[in-house]
Chains A and B, each alone.
Chain A
Amino acid sequence: TQLLEQSPQFLSIQEGENLTVYCNSSSVFSSLQWYRQEPGEGPVLLVTVVTGGEVKKLKRLTFQFGDARKDSSLHITAAQPGDTGLYLCAGAASNTGKLIFGQGTTLQVKP
C-alpha cells in the first residue's frame, strides 16, 4: 500500500517568515502534485512534478521532487497572510492515475 507522510500537520508563523512542508514515502510515485484547499472548497492544483530532482517555482513557492521520486517539499519564502490554507501533497499511482494524498498541512500566517 502506497502511503504519503506529510509534515508538519499544523504550522503557525508570522508574516515574512519562510517555511518548508515535507511529503515523504517509502514508495516511488510516477508524479507528485501539490494542492491548496480553502475551507468549503475543493483542492486546487498548484504544481505537478514528474522527474526526479525536478524543481519548479511559482512566485514565492518552490517545489522539489526527490531524486528517487519518493519525497517532495514545498518551500514558501516570505509568507503572507494570503498564503493561509490547507496544503496537500498527492502522489499518482502508476496504474490508474488515482491520487494518494498526504494528511495535509494547515498553514496560518499571522499579519
Chain B
Amino acid sequence: NAGVMQNPRHLVRRRGQEARLRCSPMKGHSHVYWYRQLPEEGLKFMVYLQKENIIDESGMPKERFSAEFPKEGPSILRIQQVVRGDSAAYFCASSPRGGFPQETQYFGPGTRLLVL
C-alpha cells in the first residue's frame, strides 16, 4: 500500500515564476492537509481540503497561494509569483477521515522549494 506521494521532491524557481506542488494521498484517503516548514522552524498548517472542497484555509497567505483537490487526480498547492521567502519544505498529509482530532495524519516526503 503506497504511502503519501509528493512531487517534485525538489523544485527550483526564479522570483516571479509559478510553483506547482502535487500530493497524491494514500489509497482510500479523501482528506488532505498542507503544511509548510520554514528553515529552523516547525511545521505550520496551511490548508485542509476534502475532494472538491476547501474546509479550512486559515493558514494560507492571503495572496499568491491557492490549493485544490479535484474529484480526480492529486491535490495541488499553487504559488504564483514566488518570492525568496517562499523557500521552504512543503508537506502534505492525508487521513481517511477528516475533522477528527484523534485521526492519524500520514505525511509525504515533502517538496523542497528553492526560490533564486
The chain A residues found within 8 Å of chain B, CB to CB, are 6, 29-31, 33, 35, 40-45, 48, 50, 88, 90, 92-104
Contacts and interface: CB of A to CB of B under 8 A. Distances in A.
B107 A42 contact: yes
B69 interface: no
A96 to B, nearest CB: 5
Interface string B75-104: 000000000000000010101001111111
A48 B45 CA distance: 18
A74 to B, nearest CB: 15
Given A97-B99, A98-B48, A103 B109 contact: no
A43 B42 CA distance: 11
B56 interface: yes
A29 B109 contact: no
B30 interface: no
B102 A99 contact: no
Interface residue SS majority, chain A: loop
Contacts of A6: 42
Contacts of A101: 35, 42-44
Contacts of B56: 95-96, 98
Interface residues of B, number: 29
B43 A45 contact: no
Contact of A99 (B33, B55, B108, B109): B33
Nearest to B105: A99
A96 B44 CA distance: 15
Q: Which of A35, A43, A104 gathers most chain B CB within 10 Å? A: A43
B53 to A, nearest CB: 12
Given A48-B102, A92-B101, A94-B101, A41 B43 contact: no
8 contacts: A42-B108, A50-B102, A96-B55, A97-B48, A97-B98, A97-B99, A98-B33, A100-B45
B49 to A, nearest CB: 11
B79 to A, nearest CB: 19
Contacts of A92: 101-103
A97 B110 contact: no
Contacts of B72: none
